Amino acid sequence: MKGKSRLSAKSLGYCSCHVCGLVSRPDNDDDTIDLCPRCHTTLHMRKTGSIERCWALLLASAILYVPANTLIMMETGTLISYRKDTILSGVVHLWVSGSWFVAAIVFVASIVVPLFKIIALALLLMSVQRRSRHWIPQRTRLYRLVEAVGRWSMLDIFVVTLLAALVQIRSLAIVKAGPAAIAFGAVVVLTMLAAMAFDPRLIWDPIRKEKP
Amino acid sequence: MSIPHRHLIICHECDQVLKEIPLPNGGVACCSCCGATLYRHTQDSINRTLAFAVAAAVMYVIANCFPIIGIDFQGNYNEVTLPGAISSVWNQGRPVISTLVLFCIIVAPAVEIMLMICLLLPVRMGQKALGVYPIMRTLQVIKTWGMVEVFMLGILVALVKLTTDFIVIYEVAIWAFAALTLLLASMTASFNPREVWQQLDQIAEDGEAP
């Protein structure tokens, strides 16, 4: 692999500003906080407390993933029927009623994506903590994917909001958002924050040569 | 104070130090080590982004003021606007969900569009905007939380769910949301923060030299 023995910016003492991208060389001799010479943002070689913060947010979202999937997401009442749906039973209902394409979209956005994010971030964190030197480009791509797909999980929250507001026809048809929606919203927000807290540069650190 | 090195680039994903190279029209510079996108060449970025932002601002107002969809159930008609939906969910005892939707669909896109105009209009006229640095910082953060395109997909899923039981009427804002989704995507694609920083550096230099 091409970049195997290269030095990292950190070991060379260079730092790029995360806001304006300007590369500068902070002088580490004193204890003062280094500021970007162009935009005066505080400079960091790595995101501070990345691993700890990411683990904390990830564990919180993993715990909330349980109520999000077991509690009621949406209550639907019409004259002839009254249903209480969890996320999964909502998907099944969509599937059997013939909208298999939409069922697939909701299944991916609400069940596959959050689970994938939690597992992927846990794997990334563990490999970084073990200073693993394997699969480095693949793990970088995995992180990119986690960051890109995260927002789409919010889909179900928006669907429930629209339906709960729209289907309010007195005594004939009614839709209510259930308690799972809160837990599910929290899972999505927490996994997004966890992905933001993770620093992908940590994946590359074990194979970088230290400064001679 | 740190010493700037203007011709170096550091990959934000793998911390590789690279030298800046000039790009052809529409070119993209990728990291030689991990393949991350470092910077792009966008043609006429500031003008185009500004145009998209102004158009998005107009669409945003339409999308928020008019009903999105209506339903007809045995002669009973009901329609919903976005702010109406949010307040309705709040009144049903779900303040957390309504706040989340309020932030992602109303607040974040509004802030993004407004800041984009506040930033680019003065740059376009060759002046330094007030509070450029906080604006650039906020734009970077707020981009993640604006979810108009996810909401658009949400509208489509809701439509499919509704058509089994109700007669669905498409209202004005559904088209406005579709247009807003496209405009915001175009705005993000044409926005090139690197060029803005270069312009700002230029303006600062011109200001210093009499």
ipTM, interface predicted TM-score of the complex? 0.92
Query: What's the rounded mean pLDDT across residues A80-104?
Result: 91
Interface residue A78 vs chain B (CB under 8 A):
yes
CA distances from A145 to A152, B37, B51 (A): 12, 14, 31
Most A-contacting residue of B147, B161, B196, B199 (CB-CB within 10 A), to test interface? B161
pLDDT digit string, tens, across residues A126-182: 999 999 888 999 999 999 999 999 999 999 999 999 999 999 887 788 899 999 999
The DSSP bridge pattern shows strands B8-10 and B37-40 to be unpaired
pLDDT at res. A30:
57
State residue A35's pLDDT score. Answer: 85
Average pLDDT over residues A25-37: 73
CB hemisphere CA count around B167 (13 angstroms): 6
**Radius of gyration for chain A, computed over Cα atoms and rounded to the nearest angstrom:** 23
A165: nearest CB among B5, B9, B80? B80
The average pLDDT across A7-27 equals 85
Contact A121, A102 (CB under 8 A): no
Contact A3 B14 (CB under 8 A): yes
Contact across the interface for B68 and A185, Cβ inside 8 Å: no
CA angle B181, B186, B191 (to 5 degrees): 130
Instruction: Check if A162 contacts B (Cβ < 8 Å).
Output: yes
Cβ within 8 Å, pair A166-B71: yes
Q: Is A26 on the interface with B (CB under 8 A)?
A: yes
- For residue A3, the model assigns a pLDDT of 43
Partners of B14 on chain A (C-beta within 8 Å) are: 3, 8, 140, 200-201, 203-204
Residue in A closest to B100 by C-alpha: A185
pLDDT digits (tens), chain B, 210 positions: 577 888 889 999 988 888 888 888 888 999 988 889 999 888 889 999 999 999 999 999 999 999 999 999 888 899 999 999 999 999 999 999 999 999 999 999 999 999 999 999 998 888 877 788 899 999 999 999 999 999 999 999 999 999 888 899 999 999 999 999 999 999 999 999 988 998 888 888 887 765
Which residues make Cβ contacts (< 8 Å) with residue A116, sequence separation at least 6?
A146, A149
- Whether the CB of A148 is below 8 Å from some CB of chain B: the reply is no
CB of A187 within 8 A of CB of A150?
Answer: no
What residues of A are in contact with residue B161 (Cβ under 8 Å)? 94, 99, 102, 159, 163
Instruction: Kindly determine whether residue A24 and residue B14, on different chains, have CB atoms separated by under 8 Å.
Output: no
> What is the per-residue pLDDT across B69-91, written as a single tens digit (0 to 9) for each?
999 988 889 999 999 999 999 99
Closest alpha carbon within chain A to B140: A19
pLDDT of A95 > 70? The answer is yes
B120-140 pLDDT per residue, tens: 999 888 887 778 889 999 999
| Structure-token pair, residue A122 | 């846990």
Q: What is the pLDDT of residue B200?
A: 87
Per-position DSSP letters for B66-110, written without gaps between them: S--EEEEETTEEEEE-HHHHHHHHHHTT-HHHHHHHIIIIIIHHH
pLDDT digits (tens, 9 = 90+) for A41-75: 888 888 989 999 999 999 999 999 999 999 999 99
Chain B residues in contact with A35 by the CB 8 A cut-off are: 1-2
The whole-angstrom distance between residue B32's C-alpha and the CA centroid of its chain comes to 29
A62 Cα to chain B: minimum distance (Å): 19
**Cα A90 from Cα A107, distance rounded (Å):** 9
CB-nearest partner of B33 from A6, A16, A181: A6
Query: What is the nearest CA distance from B29 to chain A, expressed in angstroms?
Result: 14
A66 within 8 A of A168, measured Cβ to Cβ:
no
Over residues A21-26, mean pLDDT: 86
Q: What is the chain B residue with the closest CA to A24?
A: B4
Say which residue the tokens 């590789």 belong to. B16
B196 contact residues in A (CB cutoff 8 A): none
Least confident of A83-97, A191-205, B21-35: B21-35
| % of chain A surpassing 90 pLDDT | 63
Helix (H) / strand (E) containing B50: helix B45-65
Angstrom distances, CA of residue B64 to CA of B59, B110, B148, B159 = 9, 11, 12, 18
Share of chain A above pLDDT 70, in %: 93
CA distance A14 to A162: 49
pLDDT at res. B43: 86
> In this complex, do A161 and B136 lie within 8 Å of one another by their Cβ atoms?
no
Q: Is the pLDDT confidence value at A120 over 80?
A: yes
Quick one: pLDDT band at residue A28, thresholds 50, 70, 90? low
Distance from CA of B51 to the nearest CA of A (A): 23
Report CB contact under 8 Å: A39, B35: no
pLDDT surpassing 50 at residue A1: no
Could A154 and B144 be called an inter-chain contact, meaning their C-beta atoms sit closer than 8 Å?
no
